[in-house]
Amino acid sequence: MRFARYIYPYWDKQLILYFCMVFSVIFGLMHPYLTRLIIDYAFIGQDLHIFNMIVLAGVAVYLFSIPIELIQKLMGFFLKTRVSYVVRAGFYRHLQSLSLRFAQSRSTGEHLYRLGPDLEGVVGLIVDTLPSVIILAFRIALLLGICFWLSWPLTLAVLAITPVLYLHTHFFTKRLYHIKKDKTEKSQEISGNLQEALAQTKLIKLFGKERHEYNRYLRDSIDLIRLNIANARISLLQNESGRFINAVLVGGIAYILGYQVIKGYLTIGELTALTMYLFQLLSALRGIGGLYNSVVLKFIAMDRVVQTLDAEVEVKEDPKPVRLRYPIGKVSFKDVIFGYKEGNPVLRGVNFDVRAGETIVLSGVSGTGKTTITNLLCRLYDPWEGSILIDGHDIRKIKLRDLRKIIGVASNDSAMMMGTVGDNIRFGNPDATAQEVSEAARIAEAHDFVMNLENGYDTEVGEIGNRLSQGQRQRIAIARALLRKPVILVLDEALSSLNPEMEQRIADNIVKSTPDRITIIVTHRPSIISKADHTLVLNNNGRVTEQRAHYDAERLLQRQPGIAAFG
Ligand SMILES: Nc1ncnc2c1ncn2[C@@H]1O[C@H](COP(=O)(O)OP(=O)(O)OP(=O)(O)O)[C@@H](O)[C@H]1O
Ligand SMILES: [Mg+2]
């Protein structure tokens, strides 16, 4: 089992735990027998000496069992917390290493559910359920031995009834399994929808969809209630029919036992002990059903966790990666073919070269693959065919951390994290000094407006930066990219919310601040295009149609009127 490595380091604690559990089982089994001895020899034989001895033994056993139980609970708790921590950490680490594609293939709610209740189930399976199964088997074996020894025909009779108990449990478990699965899926869907609705409050208000969202929530909730009712109905039915079977069993056993005492086959003490043992046996046998239930449910959870664990890391690091310690910065795309879905290429053979100190503009109508080119350069995805080289090394061979370190990206969505303006600028370079931060902000023309905020760089930006204007966020995103001191700077429509003069000023600042950097700008602004060293225009066939230095922007606009709209 792949989770074994998580419990293996704690084998000594496990051993202690099992030891305690075995002792508890044996203690539990001693009581009925002591009772039998008291009745048959002390009470009926009226022997005070034997009575004293047995009571003393009983008290000793009981006192001994208290520290054992204490140790057992402590160990159980320790193991559970530790294993839970390690499993969670491992899972989250894996989740982070998975590709963007995997992250986007499921809703945030689903990922959260896997990280929460599902992992809880897996940990429960490893730490609770598995030991329970082993201990239950041990207990049943012992009980069977004792019962056979005391009265084998009766034990056989009880065993003959077990299949009925099993069928009973199986019948209900199968039905509960499906309902529980639906319930889990529904809960996930609800939390996913809620999360989305809360994150998109503005959109919902602007389009007057509050009522729609509320109704959807109600509908989902009602669906969940329906499932809960179905669940409760089946559970109740299971309990009550179980009680009926139980009553028949208890009645039957009590009658046979009483009959045997009257006929003189059993002593009163044996009757008492046997009654206790048989009921323990029955409850243990029934325990199999309950355990089976919980094992099945936890296996569902495990299935889903394993699905995530098995998801392939799409963008893999080379086993012997090339380090890029002193990058010069030369980027080449060679016949790059790529698409997000099989059979539907977005880029069909893209070629270009950029050298240190050059500025290249990517242009072309929406959806032609400009962002895709930047995604490929950062290795968020790997091309289907062709290769991307930096300083002559295929980026698939470069250490991922080095690659990401030399590229600084600011995109038009200018994502912000919770925290202050300063935290957001420092995101990619937490050790930067205040001076470096303000320097980067100056280049991005952000310093002045930040100083006018109530707390300057210590102003909270709010969730997803909603306390800043679009253009302010964009400038902070540029400062953040610059603070990494990247060799390759990618601005994916990162200036789109700014007025042309400011956009131009920032572009000039950037070129001036580090003249030997490669700057890749996705834009439609003629002023920027005219100053670039190269302009690539992507067309709908996924190819680069125009590739020339100092492109004549006016002519480009005349020929591709679609672009002018963005200008
Ligand atoms: N994660 C994704 N999964 C599937 N398809 C995608 C994904 N991202 C982009 N695409 C598709 O790939 C194509 C190129 O997208 P891309 O974002 O590169 O366009 P773009 O040129 O940057 O457009 P824009 O100017 O609107 O930003 C589009 O047709 C888009 O639908
Ligand atoms: Mg884009």
Task: Write out residues with Cβ below 6 Å of ligand 1.
Answer: 104, 340, 346, 366-372
Judged on CB neighbours under 10 Å (0-12, 13-18, 19+), 394 is middle
Say which residues have a Cβ less than 8 Å from residue 545's Cβ, sequence separation at least 6: 537, 538, 539
Instruction: Please tell me the distance between residue 366's alpha carbon and the centre of ligand 2 in angstroms.
Output: 7
Best mutation site among 106, 315, 370 for ligand 1, i.e. most ligand atoms within 8 A of its Cβ?
Answer: 370
Query: What residue owns the CA closest to ligand 1's atom 14?
Result: 369
Beta bridge partners of 549: 534
Say which residues have a Cβ less than 8 Å from residue 232's Cβ, sequence separation at least 6: none
Best mutation site among 333, 372, 496, 543 for ligand 1, i.e. most ligand atoms within 8 A of its Cβ?
Answer: 372
pLDDT for res 548: 61
- For the chain, domains (ranges, CATH) are 4-309 (1.20.1560.10), 331-559 (3.40.50.300)
DSSP 460: B
**Residue 411, phi then psi, degrees to nearest 5:** -115, 170
- Look at the block and give the residue holding tokens 């086959």: 265
Give the Cα separation of 229 and 235 in Å (integer): 10
Which ligand 1 atom sits closest to the C-alpha of 538? 21
Taking alpha carbons only, the member of 373, 435, 309, 345 closest to residue 5 is 309
Query: What residue owns the CA closest to ligand 1's atom 29?
Result: 367
Best mutation site among 368, 382, 497, 543 for ligand 1, i.e. most ligand atoms within 8 A of its Cβ?
Answer: 368
**Residue 526, phi then psi, degrees to nearest 5:** -60, -35
165 to 238, 244, 331: CA distances (angstroms): 11, 11, 71
Which ligand 1 atom sits closest to the C-alpha of 493? 27
Q: Is the CB of residue 3 less than 8 Å from the CB of residue 130?
A: no
pLDDT for res 144: 93
In order along its 567 residues, the chain shows pLDDT tens digits of 677 777 788 888 889 999 999 999 998 898 899 899 999 999 888 889 999 999 999 899 889 999 999 999 999 999 999 989 998 898 898 888 888 888 888 877 778 888 888 888 888 888 888 888 999 999 999 999 999 998 888 888 888 888 888 888 888 888 888 898 899 889 888 988 888 888 888 889 999 999 999 999 999 999 999 999 999 999 999 999 989 988 888 898 889 889 989 999 889 998 999 999 988 998 888 888 778 878 888 888 888 888 888 888 888 888 999 998 888 888 999 999 999 988 889 999 899 999 988 999 999 888 899 999 999 999 999 999 999 999 999 999 999 989 998 999 998 877 888 889 999 999 988 999 999 999 999 999 999 999 998 889 999 887 777 788 888 999 999 999 999 999 999 999 888 888 888 888 998 898 888 888 999 999 888 888 888 888 899 888 878 876 665 545 554 454 444 443 333
State the distance between the two ends of the chain, measured CA to CA, in whole angstroms.
Answer: 59
Give the Cα separation of 451 and 187 in Å (integer): 45
Please tell me the number of the ligand nearest to residue 566's CA: 1
b/e code 345-375 from CB counts within 10 Å (16+ = b): bbbbbbebebebebbbbbbbbeebbbbbbbb
DSSP 446: -
Which ligand 1 atom sits closest to the C-alpha of 412? 27
Query: What residue owns the CA closest to ligand 1's atom 17?
Result: 371
Say which residues have a Cβ less than 8 Å from residue 147's Cβ, sequence separation at least 6: 154, 155, 158, 274, 277, 278, 281
Please tell me the number of the ligand nearest to residue 346's CA: 1
Q: Locate 559 and state its tokens.
A: 């020929």
Instruction: Please tell me the distance between residue 372's alpha carbon and the centre of ligand 1 in angstroms.
Output: 6
DSSP 316: P
Please tell me the number of the ligand nearest to residue 524's CA: 1
Which DSSP helix (H) or strand (E) runs through 157? Answer: helix 152-199
Judged on CB neighbours under 10 Å (0-12, 13-18, 19+), 498 is buried
pLDDT for res 562: 42
Instruction: Provide DSSP, 289-302.
Output: HHHHHHHHHHHHHH
251 to 156, 245, 255: CA distances (angstroms): 17, 10, 6
2 to 122, 296, 370: CA distances (angstroms): 11, 18, 42
Residues with CB under 5 A from ligand 2 (ion): 371
Best mutation site among 333, 341, 346 for ligand 1, i.e. most ligand atoms within 8 A of its Cβ?
Answer: 346
**Residue 387, phi then psi, degrees to nearest 5:** -150, 160
Query: What residue owns the CA closest to ligand 1's atom 26?
Result: 366
pLDDT for res 230: 95
Give the Cα separation of 290 and 294 in Å (integer): 6
Instruction: Please tell me the distance between residue 452's alpha carbon and the centre of ligand 2 in angstroms.
Output: 31
- Look at the block and give the residue holding tokens 């980067």: 440
pLDDT for res 140: 94
DSSP 106: S
Please tell me the number of the ligand nearest to residue 542's CA: 1
pLDDT for res 310: 85
Instruction: Please tell me the distance between residue 371's alpha carbon and the centre of ligand 2 in angstroms.
Output: 4
Instruction: Please tell me the distance between residue 368's alpha carbon and the centre of ligand 1 in angstroms.
Output: 7
Which ligand 1 atom sits closest to the C-alpha of 339? 12
Best mutation site among 99, 371, 412 for ligand 1, i.e. most ligand atoms within 8 A of its Cβ?
Answer: 371
Query: What's the whole-model pTM score?
Result: 0.75
